[in-house]
A and B are shown apart, each in its own frame.
Chain A
Amino acid sequence: MSTLRSRLPAVTGHRLFWPLVVLVLLIAANTVYRPSFLSVELKNGHLYGSLVDILRLSAPLILVALGMSLVIATGGIDLSVGSVVAVSGAVACLYISKQPDQNSLGGVVTALALAFGVALLLGVWNGTLVAVIGIQPIIATLILMVAGRGLAQLVTQGQIITVNSDPYRTIGVGHLVGLPFAIIVALAVTLLVAVLTRRTALGMIIEAVGGNAEASRLAGVRARRITLLVYVVSAACAGIAGFMMTANVSSADGNAAGLWVELDAILAVVIGGTSLAGGRFYLGGTIVGALLIQTLTTSVYAMSIDPQTALLFKAVVVIVVCLIQAPAFRARLRRRAATPTPPTTPAEQQKEQVPA
């Protein structure tokens, strides 16, 4: 695995180089289309502008993708994060909507604790299915992906629960020192996870489990416990993301909240250079990936791309990013192979580096 990096030239070969180039290109394209895209002004004591919107809206995705990175590092995958988002948002909003005074800080804190607890439980459920019972992660989390959305609709009774609570709103749209509160929370959680995984042996142990669970167990790592832990962390991150998404619109929609966010999160992780085969993870890359995806979405609206072609536009950008991220594709491009061969997909690259 470590040969992967040493094979490549230093700067352009860095796994973040190309995603960052595309990110800058996207912002540049927006600026060409509308020069005021970059402008950030001060409005009501906080920053206001498209770039600030991108930061705020990418916060939940950053969180979900963060948890997803750890799960993917163990060679697993968590498809249930979207449903966990919906459940945690629904539980929090339901509790707040039942309060006599929705603005009371105590009520909101209780609601958050309750919903966070539910999210942790869902994480334990996923982790138990994968680590203890030994079901394949994609199947184990698929169960909660389907059931969780049903659970969220059960909690909301199929209705959209509207809350009118200023403390809760703050999580989604509030500001701290001029910046969106949500992005500060997301970065704080990222920092915490980074310190816990990279300043201790935890990160390496997670990667060891992903590399070869049995070998790591024989080497003295409690592989099951680590696997269970990453699913709990993933659900916890999704739970907080659920607060942000529902607080953003002050309402919980069991049907739509967090729909397909698991796919965006997986994409963010992959764009960030983490292999789906497990054994490695890059938190910085994941954040760049999440920012790239949100910038792409915002660009579609800011540049008035026709809704009928918007999905195609996104797909093309994503394919380009994935292709130039693939070392095999770049190597082939450099060699300018004479024989026309089909482009190498990221999937092939991942197969190539399956560890152990």
Chain B
Amino acid sequence: MLKTGTFTRRGLGTLLAAGLLAGGLVGCANSDTGGDSGDGGDGSGNGTIVLGFSQVGAESGWRTANTTSVKEAAAEAGIELKFDDAQQKQENQIKAIRNFIQQKVDVIAFSPVVESGWDTVLKEAKDADIPVILTDRAVDSADTSLYKTFIGSDFVKEGRLSGEWLVEEKKAATGPVNIVELQGTTGSAPANDRKKGFAEAIAANPNLKIVASQSGDFTRAGGKQVMEQFLKANPKIDVLFAHNDDMGLGALEAITAAGKVPGKDITIITIDAVKDGMQALADGKFNFIAECSPLLGPQLMDLVKKVHAGESVPTRVETEETTFTQEQAKAALPTRKY
């Protein structure tokens, strides 16, 4: 019994090793011969572009809307989409990209789960002559020739737009305007960048002062808990700037519980424009939202066509985004996708 077991295990191991080796060999063969079309080759011959897209996962409404946008835009542009859901795991994503390379897709696009550790697999794609487009999140590879372009939101700009709106809104203010800030997860790129952009913009008016700034971890519960203490520690709060809608929505509850009227006693600015946030804006509880749009599908498909045709594209493409006031939110809400 024991002996058989050992053998089976060893057999399995050998098989696995052989499989890995074979995979490696195929990779090498591809890179050596470049355009050698094997059995899996399809697409480029009959004119349709094949796009391999690896998504982070489905962790939020924002992400789901992002996926839908990519799928719809691909169908509309007549691009064949091979979609992969990495379920928040980098190893799944690397596996998916290797599969795309083996299937000889024309273009690979993906939203990296994490920033680091992509050099090897991106090198494989480059060796196989498949252009790569990053969406939504960046990678930290020093070699920028590994990908063609990065399309995604500019978080600094989102913060700056929020700040600029506030400067305009409060330009008549004679006394100090006290601002409290709910930051995103400490150390995350959106939190750092939105904070930076906002601070730069409000520097234009010395009356605008951030009196307290804490992390609410991008969650409703976090936003509420922090806002409760802000309200108690600062008798006069004029403005709340939250790095996303959810923290703003949590803070709404704290503000109401403190007997204040959100949107009137306290001006509320958030970022993202998810449906619940837009609803609050339309209801007059928020005052301004800077959009962080997941709907980058159409722009992505344009880029896919361009890089496939060998045209040069800018290395950084910003998602088309807008901002919403209460009136604009009322108009936009019925057709809001996420």
Using CB atoms and an 8 Å cutoff, list the residues of chain A in contact with chain B.
34, 36-37, 43-44, 48-50, 53, 57, 153, 158-160, 162, 173, 245, 248-251, 253, 255-257, 297-298, 300-302, 304, 307-308, 310-311
Contact = CB atoms under 8 A, between A and B. Distances in A.
A53 B230 CA distance: 12
B61 A158 contact: yes
A302 B61 contact: no
Contact of A173 (B187, B214, B246, B257): B257
B60 interface: yes
B253 A250 contact: yes
Nearest to B220: A249
Nearest to A34: B233
Nearest to B191: A307
A53 B219 CA distance: 18
B175 interface: no
A250 B254 CA distance: 12
Given A158-B64, A255-B59, A307-B215, 20 more contacts: A43-B258, A43-B259, A53-B225, A53-B229, A153-B59, A159-B64, A160-B60, A160-B246, A248-B221, A249-B224, A249-B250, A251-B220, A251-B249, A256-B219, A301-B214, A301-B228, A304-B212, A304-B233, A308-B186, A310-B215
A51 B118 CA distance: 48
Contacts of A250: 253
B59 A158 contact: yes
B236 to A, nearest CB: 14
Q: Which 6 A-B pairs have the closest CB atoms?
A: A301-B229, A307-B215, A249-B220, A256-B219, A158-B58, A302-B229
Nearest to B211: A304
A53 B225 CA distance: 8
B217 A304 contact: no
A311 B230 CA distance: 19
Nearest to A300: B214
Given A50-B229, A50-B232, A162 B276 contact: yes
Contacts of A48: 257-258
A50 B229 CA distance: 7
B225 A301 contact: yes
Contacts of A308: 186-187
A249 B60 contact: no
A213 B59 CA distance: 42
Contacts of A44: 259
B186 A307 contact: yes
A53 B257 CA distance: 11
Contact of B230 (A159, A256, A301): A301
Contacts of B58: 153, 158
B59 A160 contact: no
A53 B224 CA distance: 11
Contacts of A34: 233
A173 B61 contact: no
Contacts of A248: 221, 224, 253
Contacts of A158: 58-61, 63-64
B233 A302 contact: yes
Given A158-B64, A248-B224, A36 B276 contact: no
B30 interface: no
A57 B225 contact: yes
B93 interface: no
B183 interface: yes
15 contacts: A50-B228, A53-B232, A158-B60, A245-B221, A249-B249, A253-B219, A253-B220, A253-B246, A301-B225, A301-B233, A304-B212, A307-B183, A308-B187, A310-B214, A311-B186
